[in-house]
Structure 1
Amino acid sequence: MEFRVNHAPVFSTLEFSLAQHEYVVAQPNSMLTMSAGISISAHVGRLDSDDETESSSESSNEQPSSAAETPSARRRPRNSWFGGIKSMLGGESFFTAEFRAKSDEQTVVLAPESYGDIVVLSLDAESGYYLTRGSYLANIGTTHVRIKYGGLKGLMSKKGLFLMHATGRGHVFCQAFGAIEHRQLAVNETLYVDNRFMVAFSDTVTYKLVKASESLKDSLMSGEGLINRYTGPGDVYFQTRGKPTGGILTALIDAAF
Structure 2
Amino acid sequence: MEYEIRNRPSFAAVEIDLNQSETIMAEAGAMVSHEDGIAIETNRGGGGLMKNLKRSVLGGESFFRNTFTAESPGSVTLAPPLPGDITQYDLDGTLFVQSGSYLAATPEIDVDTKFGGGRSFFGGEGLFLLELTGTGPVFMSSYGAVEERELAAGERFVVDTGHIVAFEGGVNWDVKKVGGLKSTLFSGEGLVAEFQGPGRVWLQTRSQDAFLSWLIPQLPSTNNSN
What is the TM-score of this pair, normalised by structure 2? 0.83
Counterparts of 1:123 and 1:141 in 2: how far apart (Å)? 12
Q: Which amino acid aligns with 1:229?
A: E
Distance between the aligned counterparts of 1:40 and 1:194, measured in 2?
37
Q: Quick one: structure 1 residues 208 and 37, their matched pair in 2 at CA, closer, same or farther if it must change by over 3 Å?
A: same
Q: Is the 8 A contact 1:192 1:229 kept in 2?
A: yes
The alignment yields a C-alpha RMSD, in angstroms, of 2.3
Distance 1:222 1:20, change over 3 A: closer
Query: Is the CA contact (8 Å cut-off) linking 1:90 and 1:159 kept in structure 2?
Result: no
Q: Displacement of 1:129 after TM fit?
A: 0.8
Unaligned stretches of 5+ residues in structure 2? 218-226
CA contact (8 A) 2:117 2:175 kept: no
- The 1:21–1:118 alpha-carbon spacing in structure 2 relative to 1, beyond 3 Å, is same
From 180, 183, 203, give the equivalent of 1:238. Answer: 203
Identity %, equivalent residues = 35
Instruction: Give 1:31 shift.
Output: 0.8
Pick from 83, 93, 112 the counterpart of residue 80 of structure 2: 112
Moved over 3 A (4+): 151-158, 215-223
Q: Which has the higher strand share?
A: 2
The one-character-per-residue Cα deviations of 1:51-79 (angstroms, maximum 9, x if unpaired) are xxxxxxxxxxxxxxxxxxxxxxxxxxxxx
> What's the TM-score once normalised by structure 1's chain length?
0.74
Q: After superposition, where does 1:1-257 map in structure 2 within 5 Å?
A: 1-44=1-44, 47-49=45-47, 80-88=48-56, 89-104=58-73, 106-124=74-92, 127-140=93-106, 142-145=108-111, 147-150=112-115, 152-153=117-118, 155=120, 158-160=125-127, 162-212=128-178, 216=180, 223-243=188-208, 244-245=211-212, 247=216
- What amino acid sits opposite 2:89 in the alignment? L
Contact 2:37–2:71 (CA under 8 A) maintained in structure 1: yes
Q: Tell me the number of residue pairs that the alignment of Structure 1 and Structure 2 aligns.
A: 209
Q: Distance in 2 between matches of 1:115 and 1:223?
A: 20
1 CA distance for matches of 2:75 and 2:66?
15
- Structure 2 distance, partners of 1:41, 1:183, is 36
Distance (whole Å) between structure 2 residues aligned to residue 4 and residue 117 of structure 1: 12
